[in-house]
Chains A and B, each alone.
Chain A
Amino acid sequence: MKRLLALLLFAAGLAPAEPRVVALPGRSPLVTFRIVFLTGAASDPAGKEGAAALTAAMLAQGGTRELAYKQILDAVFPMAASVSAQTDKEMIAFSATTHVDNLEAFYKLFRAMLLDPGWRKDDLDRLRDDAVNFLRVSLRGNNDEELGKEVLYGELYAGRPYAHHNAGVVSALQKLAMADLQQFYRQQFTQANLVLGIAGGYPEEFVARMKRDFAKLPAGKRAAVKLPAPRPVGGIQVTMVEKDTRSVAYSLGFPIAVKRGHPDYPALLVAQSCLGQHRSSGGRLFDRMRQVRGLNYGDYAYIEYFPRGMFQFEPDPNLARRQQIFQIWIRPVEPPTAHFALRLALYELDRLVTKGLTPEEFERTRAFLTKYANLLTSTKSAELGYALDSQYYGIPEYGSYLKSSLARLKLEDVNRAIRKHLRTGDLRIVVIARNCEELRKKLLGNDPSSMTYNSPKPEEVLAEDKIVERWKIDLKPEAVRIVPVEKVFE
């Protein structure tokens, strides 16, 4: 019926809407693709958490109807090309780069992978294993920092479409059938959800060809999943993940109403950068926790989702979301200083909220972000990714959006945005540690957590310590929950 309607529209001279395209032609000998579908883990049906990611994996790391996965690997190997899929809550991005020498051969394979998947059982078995092992072993077993960040998201969005990890939930992954994935593909991988991204030295007529090819997908209807506001945290809540590990990792935060395009986005970005620019030694948290006190390897703050932060300096694009959280990431600390480290992070957050930025900090951070925008888009792939995200958020090209809004920004705007969107008494703390019960008692008792150092500290630091070591964390016994690590993501 839909097909008939489309034909009728065409016959009447009203061509069906074409897929959206973001094209950045250039002189490079490389051609970069980012094929984005505006769907993702938030659209996983209840009980089938992981369907989006596993469907995307079946396309990017599985066979086509014509070729088994091994044949695809063999074909792309001499070109040194590969296809990767990134599944987030509301975006699935397939990205690939090829040398223009191999464009024709590579594109034929890439097109078949996305438009004509093979749905083989052995691919599903392998990729399901990969997904389960990613959650249980790579994340839960081997990476306490990322585990803390992901548990924080899970807790803040409990009962909401953003709650489960993008890779899914183990018990649901184990039950997903091929038919579930095929259904997800049919319903979500539609022209209505599609945005074609291409950049680099491709021939002029290539975009039209892609549009024709991808018109093979069902037209579909753009219907973003309903997204109720996250529940209020309700005071300070703590989730402790009990795990046999050497040190103590923290992530803490709360949902915010700000995303790219929101009037307060540039102001909050300045505040976040000043408090803890990712992997930079210039943030307050880094300075006070690591540089001055040697508590750990680094401490940072975020207003957008930034997975894999321990491996990379710049965030990946195509993680655009309608809802974001404010987050502080405290890298693992030695257990004896764990209580103090948490207090210090909360103290710094409080100092930001109550006192804001100084004029000097404001000017310095604004100048930094104005130039730093250039670095975010220094590859064609990143430039393309940011352009796709800008289209999603309905803003101009990210660099110019940021530069022009930063130019208009005033210190009062930043401090007003901080007071409006950030807070200290209503947030969720996630802890990954051994002996959680012991830390729980300390936190509930609000016992002093005095510091001893291996070298003399300036008076100013010791005086500040006197405040921090007794910093009250207003915590009720029922607000602290201990979860064995084996239960997480199950």
Chain B
Amino acid sequence: MLVLTLLCCALIASSAEAPQKAFPYPYAQDDFPNGLRLITIPTDYPNVVALYIVVQTGSRNEVEPGKSGFAHLFEHMMFRGTKAFPPAKYEAALKAAGASSNAYTTDDHTAYHTTFSKEDLETVLRMEADRFQNLEYSPDVFRTEALAVLGEYNKNSANPVSKLYEVLRDTAFDRHTYKHTTMGFLKDIQDMPNQYEYSRQFFDRYYRPEYTTIIVCGDVKPEPVRALVEKHWGGWKRGSYRAGVPPEPAPRGPRTNRVEWASATLPWVVVGFRGPAYSDTEKDQVTLDLISFLGFSPSSDLYQKLVIQEQKVDALEAENPDHVDPYLFTVWSRVKKESEVAAVRDDILATLNGFREKPVDARRLDEVKRHLRYSFALGMNNSQAIAAMVARFVALRRTPETINRVYELYERITPADIQAIARKYFGDGGRTIVTLAGGKSK
């Protein structure tokens, strides 16, 4: 079998003259003929290996009505076994490897991750290959697992932030599947036990090599890993399905909504604007990242005013997550008194408007860039953390190289860029504001 290999960073890492890349680890990137990609990242953390298998499907792919939450349900089903490894045997093998294993689903991807001792690499790769190719579960097992998903909804349901996310997306989007959360609408979750056939279709569509990237990070060498992946995953058949995710029409805002929370809690206000998709070539998304820190991090003027000086709010944070398709830039705040909600909302809007009106201080912008560089470096403190971080980027562009491109892009952003991007995105048309009011007073 012909495997295309790209060895990255190794030369750069050994060259004193080359600039330090944001992602400092040499890695090997292998493309298999069936569309599967393997990224092997040797680190100097001993004994442990972190395996992340990233499938580029998430709640974004839930295009049919009534099927919200399905990508996440499917993540659960992946633990329901195969002929060769029924759940008890799979579990026993993981136990024998001392493994920590789990999975998560997002809007755009689903990731299966296992951390274990290096001597168990082949066992784990073989078992994972088996379940990705030969997953088998009965309608009865499916119906039981759907209840565990309802249990997950239940454990989240005490937190008003879960509800705020639901309402925010439902308000901000009309057609795109980002309209629903990854967890899905309660009515769809309650109907999941009846959707066995659809679950098989979902597996057939998306659990295919061309959607999948394997990340092996830790006490490993690329050559033997490549051979093991070829041995166990090389026979996996390519698929042909492409989801027709409906594009979101141009914004027609502003929009508002309000959540009434039954039990006692503090009010929240969320100010959102329709934003761009992830890009490692265009400036829009990285510039909004910088704005999120300039305007709302603990060292921002607004944090000083609302959290430290006036003490009107006990949480203030901007969120600008990377997405395959255009998503939302949001600012979240938990307010101490209901009567202050409007004032806090107006302060947030005024801060955002400030970026439109005048360029930011260049020195301050440099501080944010430094923060991002160090924050990134501090996060890579073990093999599992490195693999987890790479997985987020691999879900978007299938290569760690996109990390270096994005961090180079941050460096190029100027105060004029900040102003231009703020003008482009912070107009009334793209705005959605959602507030949440607590029930009985404390």
Contacts and interface: CB of A to CB of B under 8 A. Distances in A.
A78 B264 contact: no
B367 A77 contact: yes
B146 A294 contact: yes
Contacts of B372: 80
Interface of A: 27-30, 69-70, 73-74, 77-81, 97-99, 101-102, 122, 125-126, 129-130, 133, 136-137, 141-145, 243-247, 249, 279-282, 290-298, 310, 313-314, 331-334, 364-365, 367-375, 378-381, 453-457, 485-486
B297 interface: yes
Contact of A334 (B154, B304, B442): B154
Contact of A381 (B141, B152, B265, B381): B381
B281 interface: no
Contacts of B370: 78-80
Interface string B327-349: 00000000010000000000000
A282 B158 CA distance: 27
Interface of B: 44-45, 47-48, 79, 87, 91-92, 94-102, 115-117, 139-148, 150-152, 154-155, 157-161, 193, 262-266, 297-299, 303-304, 307-309, 311, 314, 336, 367, 370-375, 377-378, 381-385, 438-439, 442
Given A294-B144, A298-B151, A333-B154, 17 more contacts: A99-B377, A125-B311, A137-B442, A141-B264, A144-B155, A244-B263, A245-B157, A282-B94, A297-B154, A313-B102, A332-B155, A332-B157, A364-B95, A373-B98, A375-B98, A375-B100, A378-B115
B151 A367 contact: no
Contact of B383 (A243, A378, A381): A378
A293 B144 CA distance: 6
Contacts of A374: 47-48, 98, 117
Contacts of A378: 45, 48, 115, 382-384
Contacts of A79: 370-371, 374
A281 B91 contact: yes
B159 A77 contact: no
A73 B155 contact: no
Contact of B265 (A141, A281, A310): A141
Nearest to A126: B311
Contacts of A454: 143-144, 146-147, 193
Given A294-B144, A294-B145, A375-B98, A310 B155 contact: yes
Nearest to B262: A244
A78 B145 CA distance: 46
A56 to B, nearest CB: 18
A290 B151 CA distance: 9
A83 to B, nearest CB: 12
A29 B377 contact: yes
A136 B264 contact: yes
- Which of B299, B307, B383, B385 has the most C-beta atoms of chain A within 10 angstroms of its own C-beta? B299
B160 to A, nearest CB: 6
Contact of A368 (B95, B304, B375): B95
A365 B146 contact: no
A233 to B, nearest CB: 27
Contacts of B373: 80
Contact of B151 (A143, A243, A297): A297
B328 to A, nearest CB: 23
B364 to A, nearest CB: 10
Given A369-B98, A454-B147, A455-B140, A136 B382 contact: no
Contacts of A73: 298-299, 303
Contacts of B297: 77
Contact of B98 (A69, A333, A367): A367
A378 B308 CA distance: 36
A454 B191 CA distance: 11
B96 A368 contact: yes
B193 A80 contact: no
B95 A78 contact: no
Contacts of A295: 147, 151
12 contacts: A29-B377, A129-B336, A130-B314, A133-B336, A247-B155, A279-B102, A291-B148, A297-B148, A313-B100, A364-B95, A378-B382, A455-B139
Contacts, number: 204
B264 A486 contact: yes
B101 to A, nearest CB: 8
B439 A97 contact: no
Contact of B314 (A28, A129, A296, A371): A129
A461 B264 CA distance: 40
Pairs A-B, 8 closest by C-beta atoms: A371-B98, A294-B147, A80-B375, A80-B374, A296-B151, A297-B151, A77-B299, A455-B143
A29 B265 CA distance: 43
Nearest to A381: B381
A375 B94 CA distance: 13
A142 B160 contact: yes
Contacts of B158: 141-145, 245-246, 332
Given A70-B304, A129-B311, A379 B381 contact: yes
Contacts of A296: 148, 151, 154-155
A74 B139 CA distance: 57
Nearest to A380: B381
B374 A297 contact: no
A133 B266 CA distance: 8
A370 B96 CA distance: 9
A336 B135 CA distance: 32
Nearest to A278: B100
Given A133-B336, A246-B158, A313-B100, A364 B92 contact: yes
Contact of B378 (A97, A143, A244, A291): A97
B154 A364 contact: no
- Which of B92, B148, B266, B336 has the most C-beta atoms of chain A within 10 angstroms of its own C-beta? B148
A245 B159 CA distance: 10
B98 A370 contact: yes
Nearest to B383: A378
Contact of B308 (A69, A136, A145, A365): A69
Contacts of A373: 98
Contacts of B100: 280, 313-314, 372, 375
A333 B370 CA distance: 46
Nearest to B381: A379
A122 B262 CA distance: 32
Contact of B263 (A141, A293, A297, A372): A141
Contact of A371 (B97, B145, B146): B97
Contacts of A456: 140
A202 B438 CA distance: 48
B157 A246 contact: yes
Given A246-B157, A368-B96, A281 B79 contact: yes
Contacts of B91: 281-282
B268 to A, nearest CB: 11
B98 A368 contact: yes
A364 B155 contact: no
A27 B45 CA distance: 11
- Which of B91, B100, B141, B439 has the most C-beta atoms of chain A within 10 angstroms of its own C-beta? B100
B159 A143 contact: yes
A77 B378 CA distance: 13
A28 B386 CA distance: 14
B322 to A, nearest CB: 19
B209 to A, nearest CB: 26
A283 to B, nearest CB: 10
B114 to A, nearest CB: 11
A345 to B, nearest CB: 14
Nearest to A63: B308
A314 to B, nearest CB: 8
B20 to A, nearest CB: 11
A80 B371 contact: yes
